[in-house]
């Protein structure tokens, strides 16, 4: 492999860490993802920097935690918006950069305006679909919204309009502004017009027509699924073997008695203690969905199968063009999904593994890196540093995250003793989680009571040890403080007295 490999960065939206074939996903096969993880490294203990879309996505763009880049929740646009992004740094050393699919780096209602402020106006056509530059990417094809419940925006909307797709039964919000997060089942949009197919097609088109021969490239392939609502197009919905699906356990009587009070309040749908008019915790009790739990799983699993199919096509294209051996492929998701576990759907404020933990697979066919499953703790904040190191760049001052490359190369058995997850996503509930190999501690800015769990004995976090084991709590809080100091960001060494 050359000194500066190509980088294919593949992300999904709201995919659970255990929703891949390598982690026992039932009902459908995921051969492309299985290949990435088995021929590369499959991290079974990877975490997001924050269990919401925008905070994590801006972290992936900048290499910084939300507390530093300030895009800490949905509905927030960093001001000023980060100027020197990871793709911008890669461009400085000769990389061609592109983003296809979901961005969500800003407040949803301002996404198109943010794009147009950068590119001036849309110039894309069917023959030349890419616009740019935008936030460090030379070329972009962007989408906003999630399947049938929202209005498609930006390049994906323009594609649909060129195809004459305005059918209200496919996108009902175009007609009445409705949003139904409690429907689960098939979606009658034709497969070829679905966002997953569009992202796949535009990714393949860029690789065939727009990359510059001889230059390394960084391509972010960003799917919008399997984000709720649980709609899945055919034939992918029906391809799932429904008999193999087992819903997650809902809430147990009294299970929130030893947790901070907002857990029980949230299960009643009462977020008044932590929420305000504009900030949402994004995790809900959805009792109608509880009754459709198998259908919801079927739709989610079908969406993942569809994504795997399109990822497989891109891998085959790289093989056919001879570029696979010189490409590093990274697959992950921005955060997880509760999927009815403990009575909750969605993601966000509840500090469960379901929404904090994510799939992460890294494959470099041309490099002699370690392979197979790893239970080493990882965090997505480490990926931007990895991308810069692969490009031959040093670690810029202020970049957070730790030395994932040293681990991949086999120089480190563990590159992290633990990791942080930030969740400053509501007005009145600021939460920080620290996870190590065996335990989790959760603290709150304005709450005296926190959470401590033994993840080996209690992986589903039913037994809060905060009050029961004060010495363990004290040890974990010290580890949390030290980890915070470790991840303040790379600092350049002093070379003089003034």
Any idea which residue has 């955060």 for tokens? Answer: 335
Q: What is the pTM of this model?
A: 0.96
Structure tokens at 52: 């919401």
Instruction: Please tell me whether residue 294 adopts helix, strand or coil conformation.
Output: helix
pLDDT given at position 173: 65
- Are 300 and 30 a contacting pair, CB within 8 Å? no
Peptide linkage before 18 cis (omega within 30 of 0): no
Closest CA to 376 of 421, 407, 422, 410: 407
Instruction: Please tell me whether residue 134 adopts helix, strand or coil conformation.
Output: strand
CA gap 445, 443 in Å, rounded: 7
CA gap 332, 361 in Å, rounded: 7
Structure tokens at 244: 């193999």
- pLDDT truncated to tens, each residue of the chain (498 aa)? 457 999 999 999 999 999 999 999 999 999 999 999 999 999 999 999 999 998 999 999 999 999 988 887 777 888 888 888 999 999 999 999 999 999 988 888 889 999 999 999 999 988 899 999 999 999 999 998 776 667 788 999 999 989 888 776 788 765 555 666 788 999 989 999 999 999 999 999 999 999 998 899 999 999 999 998 899 999 999 999 999 999 999 999 999 999 998 888 888 877 776 665 545 668 888 888 888 999 999 999 999 999 999 999 999 999 999 999 999 999 999 999 999 999 999 998 899 999 999 999 999 999 999 999 999 999 999 999 999 999 999 888 889 999 999 999 998 888 999 999 999 887 778 899 999 999 999 999 988 899 999 999 999 999 999 999 999 999 999 999 999 999 887 777 777 776
Closest CA to 153 of 123, 183, 173: 173
C-alpha 167, offset from chain centre = 30
pLDDT given at position 267: 86
For the chain, the residue count is: 498
CA gap 475, 460 in Å, rounded: 22
Q: Which region, left, alpha or beta, applies to residue 124 given φ > 0 means left and ψ of -120 to 50 means alpha?
A: beta
| Residues in Cβ contact with 347 at an 8 Å cutoff, skipping those fewer than 6 apart | 14, 51, 52, 282, 283, 335, 336, 337, 338, 355
As a whole number of Å, the end-to-end CA separation of the chain is 42
CA gap 230, 186 in Å, rounded: 8
Helix (H) or strand (E) holding 12: strand 6-12
Strands 439-444 and 430-436: antiparallel
Peptide linkage before 133 cis (omega within 30 of 0): yes
């Amino acid at each position: 492999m050359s000194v500066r490999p190509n980088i294919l960065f593949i992300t999904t939206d709201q995919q659970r860490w255990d929703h891949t074939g390598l982690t026992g996903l039932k009902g459908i096969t995921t051969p492309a993802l299985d290949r990435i993880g088995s021929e590369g490294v499959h991290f079974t203990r990877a975490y997001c920097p924050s269990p919401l879309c925008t905070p994590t996505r801006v972290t992936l763009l900048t290499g910084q935690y939300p507390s530093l880049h300030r895009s800490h929740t949905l509905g927030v646009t960093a001001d000023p918006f980060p100027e020197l992004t990871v793709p911008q740094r890669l461009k400085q050393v000769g990389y061609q950069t592109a983003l296809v699919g979901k961005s969500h780096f800003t407040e949803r209602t301002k996404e198109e305006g943010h794009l147009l402020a950068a590119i001036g106006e849309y110039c894309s056509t069917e023959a030349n679909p890419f616009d740019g530059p935008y936030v460090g990417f030379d070329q972009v094809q962007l989408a906003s919204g999630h399947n049938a419940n929202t209005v498609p925006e930006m390049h994906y909307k323009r594609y649909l309009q060129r195809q004459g797709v305005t059918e209200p039964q496919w996108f009902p919000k175009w007609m009445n502004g409705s949003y139904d997060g409690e429907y689960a089942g098939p979606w009658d949009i034709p497969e070829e017009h679905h966002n997953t197919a569009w992202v796949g097609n535009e990714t393949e088109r860029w690789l065939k027509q727009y990359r510059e021969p001889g230059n390394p490239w960084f391509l972010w392939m960003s799917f919008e699924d399997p984000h709720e609502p649980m709609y899945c197009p055919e034939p992918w919905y029906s391809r799932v073997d429904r008999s193999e699906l087992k819903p997650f356990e809902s809430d147990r009587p009294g299970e929130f008695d030893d947790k901070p009070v907002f857990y029980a309040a949230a299960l009643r749908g009462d977020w008044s203690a932590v929420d305000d008019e504009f900030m949402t915790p994004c995790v809900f009790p959805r009792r109608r969905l509880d009754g459709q739990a198998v259908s919801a799983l079927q739709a989610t699993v079908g969406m993942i199968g569809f994504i795997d199919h399109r990822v497989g096509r891109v891998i085959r294209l790289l093989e056919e063009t001879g570029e696979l051996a010189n490409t590093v492929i990274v697959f992950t998701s921005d955060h997880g999904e509760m999927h009815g576990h403990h009575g909750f759907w969605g993601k966000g404020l509840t500090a469960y593994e379901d929404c904090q933990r994510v799939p992460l697979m890294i494959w470099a066919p041309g490099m002699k890196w370690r392979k197979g499953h790893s239970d080493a703790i990882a965090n997505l904040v480490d990926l931007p540093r990895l991308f810069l190191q692969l490009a031959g760049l040093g670690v810029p001052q202020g970049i957070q995250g730790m030395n994932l490359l040293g681990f991949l190369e086999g120089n480190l058995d563990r590159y992290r003793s633990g990791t942080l997850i930030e969740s400053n996503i509501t007005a009145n509930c600021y939460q920080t989680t620290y996870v190590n190999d065996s335990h989790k501690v959760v603290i709150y800015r304005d709450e005296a009571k926190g959470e401590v769990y033994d993840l080996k004995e209690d992986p589903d976090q039913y037994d809060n040890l905060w009050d029961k084991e004060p010495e363990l709590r004290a040890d974990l809080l010290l580890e949390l403080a030290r980890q915070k100091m470790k991840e303040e960001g790379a600092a350049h060494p002093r070379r003089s007295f003034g």
